[in-house]
Amino acid sequence: MGAILSLIPIKDWIYGAIIAGLIAFGFYEVHHLKAEGAAHEVAALKESSDKLIAQETAHVALVAKTYAAQAAKTTETLDEQTQATAAAQSDAAQRLRNYDAYRRSHPDVASTGQPATDAGASGAGADGQRFSSLEQVALQLAGAAAASRDALAACMTDRGALTGKP
C-alpha cells in the first residue's frame, strides 16, 4: 500500500491538504455564522420584547389611572345621590310628621269627614292609630325604595365604568 501512495506526487498531497483544510474551514464558518445569526436574533427579540413590555406597562398604568378616576367620579356621584335621597327622605318624613301633628290637632280632619261626636272621636282615635301605623309603614317603604334606587344606580354606574357602556 505504501508503494501505491508513493506514486502520488507531493504537490497532490499539498493540494489535498489545502482542499481538506478549506472544507473544514467551510464547516467551521457555517457553524459560526449560524451561531452569530442566532445571537443577533436573540438580541433583536429581547429588544422588541423590552419595547413591548414598556408599552404594555404604560397602557396598564393609563387604564388603571382612568379606572381610578372613573371610580372616584362614581363614588362622588353616589355620595351626592345618597345625600340628596337622605335630604328628600328627611323632608318627606318632616312633612309626614307635620301632617300628623296637624291631623291630631284638628279632629275634623282626623275623623275623615264624620261629625265630631263622642262616637266619632273614639272612631277617630282608632283611625288615628291606623293612620299613624300607615304613616310609619309609608315612611319605611319610602326609605327602602330610596336605598334600593341608590344601590341600583351605583351598580349601573360601576358596570358602566368597568365596561365602558353608558
107 close to 121: Cβ distance less than 8 angstroms: yes
pTM: 0.44
Which residue is listed with cell 419595547? 51
Phi, psi of 164, rounded to the nearest 5 degrees: 80, 10
DSSP code, position 106: -
Kindly state the cell numbers that stand for 64.
388603571
Cβ proximity of 98 and 86 under 8 Å: no
Would you mind telling me the total number of residues written for the chain in this entry?
166
| pLDDT, position 133 | 65
The region of weakest confidence among 40-49, 60-69, 112-121 is 112-121
pLDDT digits (tens, 9 = 90+) for 37-54: 999 999 999 999 999 999
